[in-house]
Structure formats: C-alpha cells, structure tokens
Amino acid sequence: MLQRIRTAPPRYWLVAIVVIFFMGFPTVISSFQTSLWTQALVLAIAIMGLNILVGYSGQLSLGHGAFMALGAYTSAILAHRYKLDYLITIPIAALLTGLVGFLFGIPALRLSALYLALATFALAVVTPSLIKRPDALTGGVQGILVIQPDPPQFAQDTFATVTGTVMSSDQWIYYVALFCALLLFWVAWNLVRHRPGRAMRAIRDGEVAAAASGVNIAGYKTMAFGISAFYAGTAGSLFGLATGFVSPDTFPVSLSIQLLVGAVVGGLASIPGPLLGAIFAYFLPIESNQWVPSQAWIPAQIASTVKNAGPAVSYGVVLIAIMMFAPNGIVGLVNSGYAALNRRLRGAGDRETGQMPPDPQTV
C-alpha cells in the first residue's frame, strides 16, 4: 500500500489535493459564497455531461439547458407535490432525463452536425415557454419553491467535531453537490479510459473506421446522448436544490450557451476540463460585472454596456482569446506548458531536432 502511494503518478496527487481543497472550502468561506460554489460544482456536472457528448462522442448540443430544466422540474415536482425527500428525487430525475436524452439521441442520429446543433438549439429555445404551459404542474411563470433541507444529524455532528461550528443548510447542500460531482467525475473517468470511451472517441475520429472495427455507431451515439442527459438531469436537480427555486427563467437559452462555453474553455475531451470550465463560466460574468465598473480608466459608456449585457460581453472576449491562444482550452494550455517544461528540463526531444527515431526492425 505504502509502496503504491509512493509511486503514484503526480496527477493522482493533484486529484487528492483538489478533493481535499473542495472538502475544506466551505469551512473557510461565507455561507453565501458556499452557495455560489455549489452552483459552480453543479455547472461542472452539467458541463461534464456535455463534454461526454461533444468532446468524446463528437456530437454537438446547444440545448443542454433543456435537460437541466427537465431534471430540476422532475425533482421539484416530486418534492413539492408528492412530498418525496429531495435527495431521493435526484437519482429519479437523473434517470428520467437520461432516458429522455437517449430517446432524443435516436432521431439525432439522422442529423448532420449543423442540423443537430440547430435541433438542440431549438430545444433550448422552446423549453422556457414549454414549462410555463402546464401551470398546475409546473407553477407556470412563478415556478416552484424548493425547501432546502436541514443537514441530517450525522452531517451536523461530523461538521461540529471537525470545525466546531454549526453546519448551515447551504453547507450541507454544498457537500451533497460535491459528493455527486466527485461520483460523476469518477464515473466519467472510468468510462472514457475503458472500452466505451475508446469506442466514442473512435466514432468522433472516423465513423467508417470505427464501424469496420466493430463499433456499433448508432448504439454508442445514442448512449452518449443518454449519459450526457443523465449528467445534465443530475445537475438540474441539484441546481433547484442549491437555489431553492425553479422557474422557467432559471433555464434560459443562455444557460445552454454557458455550458458549451464552459466545456470549450475548460478543454474538450478531458476530465479536469469541465471543472475548470465551470468555475470559469460561472464566476467570469459575476466577477467581470463587478470589476469592469470599478475601473476608472474604462469609459462609463462601455462599463454600463458591459454591465447591462452581462455575461455575453465577457464570454465573447474570453472565448475569442481562448480560441486564438489555447484552442484546446485551459487543460490543453496546461498540458502543452507542462510538456514544454519537461523538454526544457530533459534537453531537446526528438520533436525539436526534427529527427524521427530509427525505423523499427521488421523481421
């Protein structure tokens, strides 16, 4: 055991540090900030779902906010009308959304990339008005209030022993979201490094060759849609819990765009990417809306435009910068930086000298 710990690759250490960081984080920040980080974690789950679909299986979705809405409303309705424990509704919402996503994936097979983007975008556009219709069920424009549960006894006790303070319900919800995020990131990591993940990547890189290797293209593509929606449904359900409220305006078109921006900025087809992308996509608009007006050198007109336009401006600027300087997102940037550092430390590699290693022997 000790031997294994000693020889573990550095990225395992990094994962351990990140997990410990997120475990301890709510104990040092305010309750309000904790709830912001809960939402960032929830966004990370949704972006991981989108990452599985877009990054790994190569299908584009501009409408993942719709799947989040489905998950959120499933949980809210079950908890509000049928008085189910909210935590129990999370897996139910996830499974239902996953099933709907799977079914959506079947007609999606027939669409080429551009039309799939349009179809999913249409889904995102109609969702808010679709929710308003059956107002007896969904509460119409008003939405549904979600009662945020008090921490259970075991959590209160543990928290009190470790920190000596009383656990708030915001902190409890943070830990619920963190648990789901860790679980689902672990599952995603398992999927992508085993047979299903390779099959998805193979489809993305070349369908004809993937089929010739025996990969069932239609099966894997629809399944990718289903799993992706499962993640989005979980995220939607947690989102309702975190904000204490679901309404049609919680799931505007811009949410779907925010998810895609997060996935791209973090780095597609990577596991840490969605977490970084989520932190970025969640906090950038908040921070920039505070930062821009506080800067005296920015003309008042521009500052007020930025404030009014909200996330759109800062997203636009950063997205253009990322596409130009780091087309593989933050993870791509870190990886290439690490590789460059390695080369520097170990001397020029074969790539630098332009020499290929000698041809292998064929007997």
Where on the chain is the footprint of another protein (CB under 8 A)?
Answer: 187, 190-191, 194-199, 201-202, 204-206, 208-217, 223, 227, 269, 351, 356-357, 359-363
Query: Whose Cβ is closer to another protein: residue 69's or residue 192's?
Result: 192
Query: Whose Cβ is closer to another protein: residue 126's or residue 183's?
Result: 183
The label of the residue with tokens 């390779």 reads 198
Q: How far is the CB of 25 from another protein (least distance, A)?
A: 27
The label of the residue with tokens 């930086």 reads 337
- Phi/psi at 146 (5° precision): -110, 125
Query: Whose Cβ is closer to another protein: residue 198's or residue 307's?
Result: 198
Q: What's the CA dihedral at 215, 221, 224, 228 to 10 degrees?
A: 170
Q: How far is the CB of 111 from another protein (least distance, A)?
A: 19
Q: How far is the CB of 45 from another protein (least distance, A)?
A: 15
357: its two tokens: 């290693």
SS3 312: helix
Query: Whose Cβ is closer to another protein: residue 164's or residue 357's?
Result: 357
Query: Whose Cβ is closer to another protein: residue 136's or residue 359's?
Result: 359
SS3 321: helix
Q: How far is the CB of 335 from another protein (least distance, A)?
A: 12
290: its two tokens: 């505070």
Distance, CA of 137 to CA of 14 (rounded, Å): 45
Query: Whose Cβ is closer to another protein: residue 269's or residue 279's?
Result: 269
Q: What's the CA dihedral at 173, 178, 184, 185 to 10 degrees?
A: 160
Distance, CA of 206 to CA of 200 (rounded, Å): 10
Query: Whose Cβ is closer to another protein: residue 219's or residue 316's?
Result: 219
Q: How far is the CB of 110 from another protein (least distance, A)?
A: 15
Distance, CA of 349 to CA of 326 (rounded, Å): 23
Q: How far is the CB of 225 from another protein (least distance, A)?
A: 12
Residues 6+ apart with CB under 8 A from 196: 220, 223
Q: How far is the CB of 277 from another protein (least distance, A)?
A: 19
Distance, CA of 283 to CA of 44 (rounded, Å): 12
Distance, CA of 139 to CA of 128 (rounded, Å): 12
